[in-house]
Amino acid sequence: MGALSLLIFLPMIAVIGILLLPNRMGHSFKYLALLATVLQFGLAGYLYINFNGSAGAFSEVSTYQYVEQLPWIRLDLGSLGKLEVDYFLGVDGFSLPLLLLSAFVMLMAVGASWNIEKSKKGYFALLMLLNTAVMGIFCALDFFLFYVFYEVMLLPLYFLIGIWGGARREYAAIKFFIYTLFGSVFMLLVIVGLYFSVQNPNTGAHTFNMLYMMNPENYVPGSFFDFLGNANEIFGIPARMIGFIVLFVAFAIKIPIVPLHTWLPDAHVEAPTPVSIILAGILLKIGGYGVIRICLGIFPDAAADANWWLGLIGVVSIIYGALNALAQTDLKRLIAYSSVSHMGFVLLGISSLTAEGISGAMFQMLSHGFLSAALFFLVGVVYDRVHDRYIYNFRGLASIMPKYTAYVAIAFFASLGLPGFSAFIGEAFVIIGTFNAESMNTGIPRWMAIFGSLGILLSAAYFLWTLQRMFFGTTRLKGGEEWVKELKDVNIREQIILFPTLALALLLGIMPSLVFGVLNNSVLSLLDLVTPYL
Amino acid sequence: MNEFVFQVSDSIDHIIRSIPLFKVEFALSFGFLSSIVCTLIFDKYWKHSSFFVTILSIICAFLILMTQHDQSNFGFYNMLIVDKTSFFARAFISIGLLISAIFLQQHFANKEFKKRKGDLYSILLAAGIGLNLFSMTTHWLMAFIAIEMVSICSYIMVGYFSENKKQAEAAMKYALFGSACSAVMLYGLSLIYGFTGDLNFASPKHIQGLIAAPEVMVSIAILFVFTGIGFKLSFVPFHLWAPDVYEGAPTPVTAFLSTVPKIAAIVLLSRLASAWISTPFYFSELTFMFISFVSIVTMLAGNLIALRQTDIKRMMAYSSIGHTGFLMMAIIAYSNGQQNILFFYVLVYTLMNFASFAFIDVLEQKLGSTQLSSYTGLGKKMPIIFTCFSIIGISLIGLPPTAGFIGKLFVFSSIFEIYQYGGDQIFLWLLIVGALTSVISLFYYFKIPLFAFLRNNKEENIENINPALSPMLVIGVILTILVVLIGIFPSGVFGVISN
């Protein structure tokens, strides 16, 4: 069993342990989950340190590290050829930072679930199952395996939102599920199409291997998704463009883009704090990762044609998300919309198809990963105490919760892109990449960069305005004296979670090379794949 | 006269040579007779005797069937065919009969009736004989006899223990609708016999006759014939009986009706499709268009109407209509040489359906209700049942890591392959509707965990429910584990089906 398998299945061991232990040992569940995530984080960190990104083709196995490949399903389907599914794992500069991020955010989520009282057994078992699925998604290099993990991820989330959520949890849970499933069933059809179009050059069998799908030479001439000279059309759109669009929509729902974002505010508002942390910190990144690894990797030609639209969608998401955030009166909803806005930068950066832009997008994903997790955690702190998060119900919190206010202020400033924090690096690189795109002839005009920077301005507006409304001025709370008693300052456990997160934001803001070093070669090899089609 | 005498000995020889093909059905027939005897005489001394005779004869039939593996033969003047298709169909039917018999025994174990319970087993075996014949023939006469045999047994099973008006109404509706459909089918068959002079639908003479016949009349005849098959398969627009009957019938009978006759009817339709679709003439195109169009409409109608159901049995009725549509997609694959994909999907469907009805029955006996709302908040009290039930729901939707997902993937693959080389738009629509209805089905299958886990019960009056270990529950759990195992490691099962 390799390191990546261990990373994926460590939480499964915790699941089995939790399920086997009797209910009366309820306190031990959280320690079991914590142990699994700590080990996982350590392992992911170890892998991260020992990673040496070699420059190589994006579609070569040698570019990936910690590779594990085992035959999983081998079927002879007669005229449909031999079905080949591998248990195929490997990481490169794109997936490894996200793995580390996932392990970190999972650790935060377990910390945030410390006081869960309602059916702990189910809760921690589902949380660890989710953990397994998420790790699997980032490691899988076989499309079938990827899809299995992708769908398995939905089930625990449905129950986590649906059982432990707020008042409208049923609605939010099913809405989230339906949105994602809608994208993914059509993704399944494209996977089937790719399966018939791609052959393993060694065995001649059709395959789900993603790396083979990225190499034009492996396509069967005349097949449906054939690379060159493909005249297949569906409803008048070229087949490869359809494939790209379907996959893009599936992942764009996760990112989420405007107008497919409406599940996000509902899911966030109804979800319990730890699930919000996971949603914002990890799940949205699966969308961005999918676009990079799968849409760009397998359909580089279509991506090169469609990137103007991708950029436009990114800009619209940035502006629309920010304007919506300005209008919110529920703190959690505000942060949910700020996520939409910040993830718009990721899409804009990817669409620029420049090294700066894509690196910036990845950096933005990482930075948004732990910053939004911190923001949702901070919302949870207030909500846990008074079960209210309506912005106008609070005023002057600074005088009764000084430490909390300090953390909120740092998180807000970090998120709005203050230089010195990680979000600044991400957003700046995205803007630089987009701005340079015109001179690189990738088809992204400069005005998109300008509108993107407008988004940074707007995020400063809503964050600072919120800070002013809730924390400054004389103390006036809706709940009066009772709330003042309830609103105790952050305790040790909360500080243990918050401090490393914000320190990380600062560290990466000062030393972005910690990420860029790992990332760089992969970005370049991805660009090698895409640029010939520009 | 002398010529005739020679023919007689030839015929007798032929029939005697054909008899070994019929040995599985002989076993069932013998079981049928002995179970009647048991009901009349021995049940007084040992009340389970007819049940055990039934189980024994199904197992014997299954074991005899295993000797017909790899056999490919015709008998009784091409009335019966023993080949791979009929082998697997009868194997699945035997499994279905076995599970149905156990369900029936369990369901009626604690109920008192004036009528003899044992009769139900003999009827089940009679239906089994009919179903076996159904799946072994390409001869219209045999097919019609088989359909009638299955139908009459089904009418009795639905109506035999009707306790209230609703159940009696269901039985009546079923019998009336069924007889009307059979009559229409018989009329269509007589037209087809008139055109072709041959009742074996796979024979060259039959196909030539259809090619030569006038288009309008062929259309009418074919549509009439599909009425009869459509009734058994309950595809749109012949599905109207299904929800009422499924709701009204006792749960084990519903489990039987929604699964086993479908296997046989699917096999007959597949044989018909592969015999008829291959020619470039009008009737082939009509058959193909009919199957594809009905498949699309059935998937949409079944899944959309299922959304509004509040009774789990009614919901499962519409779900099974939706799955019929999907099975018809697999028939198109079958007629293009992808037989094992159809077998795989049928097997998976059988497992999933029996598992869900096992849970429905266990819950019905505990709660006395099949309303979805009666499951409210029970997830914590009966975690095993509802976890397994949710997994079966996930499999019915077609999500990994379950067998339902692998089945759907195979069907999509085969249709996509035909689309890739044929390029007909209808295949694309089949794929799109197939994918879309999976999303729709999520809404109603997830009502089970929604009520069981997400909603809380306000009244705490169900404290006395203690989840006792009943054989039904054990079967349901075993089937669930099988569904997950096949979903993760499909190679083994698929290898058995392919060879």
- pLDDT tens-digit series, residues B34-93: 999 988 888 778 888 889 999 999 999 999 999 888 788 888 888 888 988 899 999 999
A82-91 vs A65-76, strand pairing mode: antiparallel
Q: Does A181 touch chain B (CB under 8 A)?
A: yes
In this prediction, residue A534 carries a pLDDT of: 81
In this prediction, residue B291 carries a pLDDT of: 93
Contact B162, B171 (CB under 8 A): yes
Q: Which residues of A, range 249-308, sit inside 8 Å of B by Cβ?
A: none
Q: How far apart are the first and last CA of chain A?
A: 41
What chain B residue is nearest to A190 in terms of C-alpha separation? Answer: B416
Q: Does A52 touch chain B (CB under 8 A)?
A: no
| Residue pLDDT, tens place only, B356-371 | 999 999 998 888 888 9
Among B380, B413, B499, the residue to mutate for chain A (most A Cβ within 10 A) = B413
* Number of A–B residue contacts, CB under 8 Å: 98
List chain A residues with pLDDT less than 70. Answer: none
- State the CB neighbour count (10 A cutoff) for residue B110: 7
Residue among A74, A119, A158 minimizing CB distance to B491: A74
- Give contacts of B428 with chain A, Cβ < 8 Å: 234
In this prediction, residue B224 carries a pLDDT of: 93
Q: With CA atoms as reference, report the closest residue to B202 among B88, B327, B74.
A: B74
Q: CA A193 to CA B428: how far, in whole Å?
A: 12
The set of residues, in sequence order, having a beta carbon less than 8 Å from that of A131 and lying 6+ positions away, is A11, A36, A37, A40, A102, A106
Degrees to nearest 5, angle at CA B207 with B202 and B213: 145
Residue among B341, B435, B489 minimizing CB distance to A185: B435
DSSP string covering B344-391: HHHHHHHHHHHHHHHHHHHHHHHHS--BGGGGTTTTTTSHHHHHHHHH
Degrees to nearest 5, angle at CA B89 with B87 and B90: 65
| Residue pLDDT, tens place only, A277-313 | 999 999 999 999 999 999 999 999 999 999 999 999 9
Rounded to the nearest angstrom, the minimum Cα separation between B453 and chain A is 7
| Residue pLDDT, tens place only, B270-286 | 999 999 988 888 888 89
Measured CB to CB, residues of chain B less than 8 Å from chain A are: 336-338, 340-341, 380, 394, 399-401, 405, 409-410, 412-414, 416-417, 419-420, 428, 431-432, 435-436, 438-439, 442-443, 446, 449-450, 453-455, 489-491, 494-495, 498
Residue among B420, B435, B498 minimizing CB distance to A188: B435
- Give contacts of A223 with chain B, Cβ < 8 Å: 420
| Residue pLDDT, tens place only, A305-339 | 999 999 999 999 999 999 999 999 999 999 999 99
- Give contacts of A169 with chain B, Cβ < 8 Å: 454
Contact B418, A171 (CB under 8 A): no
Distances (CA, A) of A466 to A324, A329, A397, A474: 13, 9, 12, 15
In this prediction, residue B76 carries a pLDDT of: 84
CB contact (8 A) between residue B399 and residue A151 = yes
CB contact (8 A) between residue B420 and residue A196 = yes
Q: CA A216 to CA A228: how far, in whole Å?
A: 8
In this prediction, residue B1 carries a pLDDT of: 58
A67: helix, strand or coil = strand
DSSP B281: S
Establish whether the linkage from the previous residue to A97 is cis, with ω within 30° of 0: no
| Residue pLDDT, tens place only, B292-322 | 999 999 999 999 999 999 999 999 999 999 9
Question: b vs e for B146-172, b when ≥16 Cβ sit within 10 Å of the residue's Cβ?
Answer: bbbbbbbbbbbbbbbbbeeeebeebbb
Dmax over CA atoms of chain B, in Å, equals 86
Residue among B380, B409, B416 minimizing CB distance to A196: B416
DSSP A236: T
Distances (CA, A) of A370 to A98, B415, B499: 11, 44, 53
In this prediction, residue A75 carries a pLDDT of: 83
ipTM of the complex: 0.91
Q: CA B165 to CA A224: how far, in whole Å?
A: 57
Q: Does A182 touch chain B (CB under 8 A)?
A: yes
Q: Is the pLDDT of residue B460 over 60?
A: no
- Give contacts of B399 with chain A, Cβ < 8 Å: 151, 154-155, 181
CB contact (8 A) between residue A189 and residue B435 = yes
Reported as a pLDDT band with limits 50, 70 and 90, residue B258 is: very high
Q: Which residues pair with A69 in a beta bridge?
A: A88
In this prediction, residue A230 carries a pLDDT of: 76
In this prediction, residue B458 carries a pLDDT of: 66
CB contact (8 A) between residue B337 and residue A78 = yes
- Mean pLDDT, chain B, rounded, equals 89
| Residue pLDDT, tens place only, A372-407 | 999 999 999 999 888 888 999 998 888 889 999 999
Burial bucket for residue A291 (CB in 10 Å: 0-12, 13-18, 19+): buried
Distances (CA, A) of A295 to A69, A213, A251, A289: 23, 11, 9, 9
Burial bucket for residue A118 (CB in 10 Å: 0-12, 13-18, 19+): exposed
Q: Which residues pair with A198 in a beta bridge?
A: A219
CB contact (8 A) between residue A158 and residue B446 = yes
Q: CA A369 to CA A366: how far, in whole Å?
A: 5
Place of tokens 């009978």: B253
A237-238 vs A233-234, strand pairing mode: antiparallel
CB contact (8 A) between residue A162 and residue B414 = no
Contact A154, A279 (CB under 8 A): no
Distances (CA, A) of B80 to A183, A512, B2, B15, B317: 47, 76, 29, 11, 32
In this prediction, residue A297 carries a pLDDT of: 92
CB contact (8 A) between residue B413 and residue A77 = yes
Determine if the pTM surpasses 0.90. yes
Residue among B380, B409, B435 minimizing CB distance to A186: B435
Q: Which residues pair with A99 in a beta bridge?
A: none
Contact A368, A342 (CB under 8 A): yes
Contact A184, A250 (CB under 8 A): yes
Q: Is the pLDDT of residue B5 over 80?
A: no
- Give contacts of B410 with chain A, Cβ < 8 Å: 77
The set of residues, in sequence order, having a beta carbon less than 8 Å from that of A30 and lying 6+ positions away, is A110, A113, A114, A116, A120, A124
Q: CA A76 to CA A81: how far, in whole Å?
A: 6
CB contact (8 A) between residue B436 and residue A185 = yes
Distances (CA, A) of B99 to A82, B55, B103, B312, B456: 34, 9, 6, 20, 34
Q: Does A87 touch chain B (CB under 8 A)?
A: no
Q: With CA atoms as reference, report the closest residue to A385 among A486, A467, A257, A244.
A: A486
Instruction: Give the range of the structural domain holding residue A352, as residue numbers without chain letter.
Output: 3-533
- Give contacts of A80 with chain B, Cβ < 8 Å: 338, 413-414, 417
In this prediction, residue A32 carries a pLDDT of: 92
Degrees to nearest 5, angle at CA A277 with A15 and B376: 60
